Amino acid sequence: MNKRVLVINDLSGFGNTSLMAIIPTLYSFGLSLSVLPTSLLSSNTCFAGYQKMDTDDFMRQSLAHWQALKLEFSAIYSGFLANAAQVQIVLSAIDTFAQEDCLVLIDPVMADHGKLYSCYDQSMIQAMRHLVARADISSPDYTDACFLADLPYGQKCTGQDLQKLCERLHKLGAKELIITSVPHEKWDNAVLYSSGAELELFKCAYIPCFYTGTGDIFSTLMLAYRLQAMDIHEAINRATQSIYHAIELSQIAGQPGAEGVLWEKILCRADLN
């Protein structure tokens, strides 16, 4: 049977982020999808005046319908949630659909560059800790990880800092951690992998600029690679290289950072899998 993924994330009508980037990426791996939008936005939140409609009731109704249809999933992937109450909806989805061999990836999209998103408060941090506890893989960025672990955000961090960070996140319940945008004391940008017993840093080529949505793409690639049983080292290296090339191409083309990278150009010419 073809592998089907339940994808829980927002849909922004403008900007290469969230479901706009996730859907074509997972399709490129030959995966089937069931998509559960957490919020409908006219654009991503980088643009002033964006319109937003949360979908709490629709999420519950969709999950009940899929249960009646007896859908089965190889993976459940949760990203941006519109509010803290949606955490309970996602937990219900995991309880209902996550069979023994179902991979659960939680990308706790809450913050960036040391700051919580303006649409969230402390209640989202508390709720997200319960969701991360159910993750086989959690893929926060460094800021998300600091908020979840209740540790201060630092411009540079040591190996000891990262060890403490991972220990706290594993105590929440996450089995594997893949933390992006880590400002290591020796490198501008790194990815941290931790399985509890193992902690590894991957130095990433760095272009000093901002493009929204790259975290969504990274988590999506990690999910697809894991469903292929790819070695974690190869998976992280492939994902970071693909995103680097997307940023490089987007800069050359003059793509505004708020619109996200020109991911469609990478998808049409690259062999991601």
Q: Please, what are the domains in the chain?
A: 4-269 (3.40.1190.20)
Between CA 14 and CA 6 the distance in angstroms is: 22
Which pLDDT score, from 0 to 100, does residue 251 have? 96
Name the one residue in this structure whose structure tokens are 């400002």: 183
- Residue 240's SS3 state is helix
> How does pLDDT run across 50-76, given as a tens digit for each residue?
999 999 999 999 999 999 999 999 999
7 contacts 23 by C-beta, under 8 angstroms: yes
Enumerate residues 6+ apart whose C-beta is below 8 A from 90. 8, 78, 81, 131
244 contacts 204 by C-beta, under 8 angstroms: yes
Which pLDDT score, from 0 to 100, does residue 272 have? 65
Which pLDDT score, from 0 to 100, does residue 219 have? 98
Longest dimension (CA), the chain: 53
Tokens of 61: 């109704």
CA 264 to chain centre: 18
53: left (phi over 0), alpha (psi -120 to 50) or beta: beta
Q: 157: which DSSP letter?
A: B
Task: Measure the N-to-C terminal CA separation of the chain; round to a whole number of Å.
Answer: 19
Which pLDDT score, from 0 to 100, does residue 237 have? 95
Between CA 78 and CA 107 the distance in angstroms is: 6
Which pLDDT score, from 0 to 100, does residue 222 have? 97
Whole-structure pTM value: 0.95
Which pLDDT score, from 0 to 100, does residue 93 have? 98
Q: Which residues of the chain have pLDDT under 50?
A: none
Between CA 263 and CA 43 the distance in angstroms is: 17
